[in-house]
């Protein structure tokens, strides 16, 4: 398969994730959609690694996975803390930082 196919699929997955971030209001689902976008980026990185025939992109993809895992851990910790304090689990109502 030509690399273009992988890149277009990656763009499609990224756009789907972005639509989810814009549409959904539950912070849990927003985090899931962020995962979709990060994985689309990983697919593009691996496609380019295949295209150039080097393995540097693989290391980059692994680091992206580590960063995604960190983001998930902190984000889920925040959601649990919000749930314990009985704050609304809705990204539109959590506007304490908005000023």
Window 79-98: residues binding other proteins (CB under 8 A): 79-81, 83-84, 86, 89-90, 92
CA-CA distance, 37 to 48, in Å (whole number)?
A: 17
41 near other proteins, rule: CB under 8 A:
no
Say if CB 9 and CB 21 are below 8 A apart: no
CA dihedral over 22, 16, 42, 28, signed as positive or negative: positive
Residues that bind other proteins (CB under 8 A): 1-9, 11-20, 22-26, 28-29, 31-33, 35-36, 39, 42-43, 46-47, 49-53, 55-56, 58-59, 61-63, 65-74, 76-81, 83-84, 86, 89-90, 92
């Amino acid at each position: 398969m030509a690399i273009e196919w992988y890149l277009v699929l990656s763009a499609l997955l990224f756009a789907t994730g972005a639509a989810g971030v814009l549409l959904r209001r539950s912070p849990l689902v927003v985090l899931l959609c962020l995962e979709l976008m990060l994985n689309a980026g990983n697919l593009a990185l691996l496609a380019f690694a295949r295209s150039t025939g080097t393995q540097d992109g693989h290391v980059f993809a692994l680091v992206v996975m580590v960063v995604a895992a960190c983001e998930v851990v902190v984000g889920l910790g925040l959601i649990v803390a919000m749930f314990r304090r009985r704050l609304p689990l809705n990204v539109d109502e959590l506007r304490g930082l908005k000023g």
